[in-house]
A = this chain, B = another copy of it.
């Protein structure tokens, strides 16, 4: 808002910021007392820090608070939301009266920040994720050659989260100089004192070990806060950490520095006492009830059609490899696409993109949590992130994916090496829960391609589609099934084998689709016709369209998946049918039901009951009671 002075803040500036801090503290107390819940003491420890950032260091347009031209602020300690709202209100983003609607059903000012609130880029409240979001915002700004700075306010409690140090090492390694951490070390967690309490030097050593310029200050000394913010801004070549010793509940002596006050609003009497103590008595007018909720959130930018691949039906290519080629072709026509990999780019094949567009590819190292949350930050800046690891290791970032959905982020995740078909590496490398996990994410789309052409088209669809898009790719090479001009709508599926005599519908995807096609051949030789469906889109599903297919085979259905039975293809299909009032007449759900182990892929498909042999046996079993009408 105001300019920084190279000579250090003047006494009048310090006094003005001190006034702002008292006001933010008062607003935080008042809004939480009005709400009857919330975390006033967690706001009060950081009031001077927030005032310094918002009213001294940061440059942003309160009329357009999410503009990428402005500096960004991420409140990683999301429970201090009232402090953020107070700062936004005081900055003019919305009227101060609005803060008194905190936590109400009708208010956009939620208990923890979400992007419904103007000025907020990403949801916080699951601790330890904000620095990664800030890393993504800052990296995006660097890509845009923008001078935007990113401020991330963290609490000391959340610095126990490993993700904080994933983000810190990444920021240090990539020398992200437009990133400043403000650590509010108030020494008290929710349930008791934090691990290191006020041992400030431990935090300094930790940040310095990660390559940060770190300094320890008294977080209630406004001059020190402003000087540290100036110094951070002047630092080149590395991120900065301002590690502030603070007192939780600062300003209200009955609560200050005392355990047991976490997440507790003050009573009206306590509020009066605290306001008297800090010497501020704001008169907040009644709120007229106008919502300031953001009504439009970023959508992925449009882009021209990419070049076509030259795949030939019947040739072999693993879907994981096809993903890399697809991403490269998309990169040529969509400059917003960026990719990050968890040190597996040569297995997920994102290296094909990275080799073509090294400026837009980031080695994320083995730190999946940071990769996903950094993707949220990149997306908030209008990038189209594609993030990858083995599908099983994306489970490492499940909370981050959950928060990405609350952030209304548009991010794309590719998980390779799904299921037992990876073979010899064994169960630690086999994703068998990823469909269940990603289906149960708000705004998610779950794709599971079975050949290179569908992989190519679905990867393009991801780049155009909002929300959390997940692509499940497979390790083994599989034959190309589709012509280059085939379309893959969402929702949708493909019927690959059909005849008027089909007695059973078999639904598979990935390796189990290819096993289903083999089973169809085997059964055909035995005079049994089956319908085979490629369920390339597992979420959303068109229950009616599926019901039509299954109805055409007398309601007899086999689903088969390289996944646990829970939450996978079988459950998704059965539930989609039930929701349109249809049930199979006979049903077999084939999935992995015992803990797998190492072995050759084909041995494992057989041993764990999802091979062509098992599909044929199940189809035969449920078709047996039917007269052969062929």
Contact = CB atoms under 8 A, between A and B. Distances in A.
Interface string A599-615: 11001100100000000
Interface in A175-228: 189-192, 194-196, 202, 205-206, 208-210
Given A366-B127, A539-B566, A424 B37 contact: yes
A346 B190 contact: yes
B366 A107 contact: no
A424 B365 contact: no
Most B Cβ at <10 Å: residue of A166, A405, A428: A428
Given A124-B428, A406-B595, A428-B126, A571 B564 contact: no
Interface in A416-448: 423-429, 432-433, 436-437, 439-443
A392 interface: yes
A408 B370 CA distance: 28
Contact of A578 (B196, B210, B366, B584): B584
Contact of A424 (B111, B205, B343, B570): B111
A195 B173 contact: yes
B428 A125 contact: yes
A136 to B, nearest CB: 16
A5 interface: no
B571 A367 contact: no
Interface stretch (A145-153, A156-164, A306-314, A484-492): A156-164
B343 A105 contact: no
B206 A424 contact: no
Nearest to A444: B566
A275 interface: no
A524 interface: no
B566 A439 contact: yes
Nearest to A158: B366
A474 interface: no
A248 interface: no
A161 B162 contact: yes
Given A402-B392, A437-B433, A598-B104, A344 B575 contact: no
A127 B392 CA distance: 11
B402 A365 contact: no
A82 to B, nearest CB: 12
Interface string A563-577: 011111011101100
A96 to B, nearest CB: 19
Interface residues of A, number: 111
Interface in A583-630: 583-584, 586-587, 589, 595, 597-600, 603-604, 607
A190 B584 CA distance: 46
A158 B342 CA distance: 11
A105 B424 CA distance: 8
A626 to B, nearest CB: 15
Contacts of A572: 566, 571
A575 B408 CA distance: 31
A320 to B, nearest CB: 14
A167 B116 CA distance: 36
A363 B575 CA distance: 41
A163 B370 CA distance: 12
B567 A578 contact: no
Nearest to A164: B162
A393 B581 CA distance: 36
Contacts of A196: 173
B395 A402 contact: yes
A100 to B, nearest CB: 14
Interface in A536-592: 539, 564-568, 570-572, 574-575, 578-579, 581, 583-584, 586-587, 589
Given A123-B427, A425-B111, A604-B105, A440 B567 contact: yes
B161 A426 contact: no
A393 B398 contact: no
A346 B190 CA distance: 8
Contacts of A432: 440, 442
A61 interface: no
A589 B543 CA distance: 14
Given A111-B598, A126-B428, A399-B395, A436 B567 contact: yes
A97 interface: no
A191 B586 contact: no
Contacts of A408: 595
Contacts of A423: 37
10 contacts: A105-B604, A110-B597, A111-B426, A158-B366, A189-B366, A205-B205, A408-B595, A432-B440, A567-B571, A581-B586
Interface of A: 35, 37-38, 78, 103-105, 107, 110-112, 114, 116, 123-128, 157-158, 160-166, 169, 173, 189-192, 194-196, 202, 205-206, 208-210, 341, 343-347, 351, 363, 365-370, 392-393, 395-396, 398-399, 402-403, 405-406, 408, 423-429, 432-433, 436-437, 439-443, 539, 564-568, 570-572, 574-575, 578-579, 581, 583-584, 586-587, 589, 595, 597-600, 603-604, 607
Given A190-B344, A205-B205, 7 more contacts: A105-B604, A116-B597, A127-B366, A205-B208, A403-B428, A433-B440, A581-B586
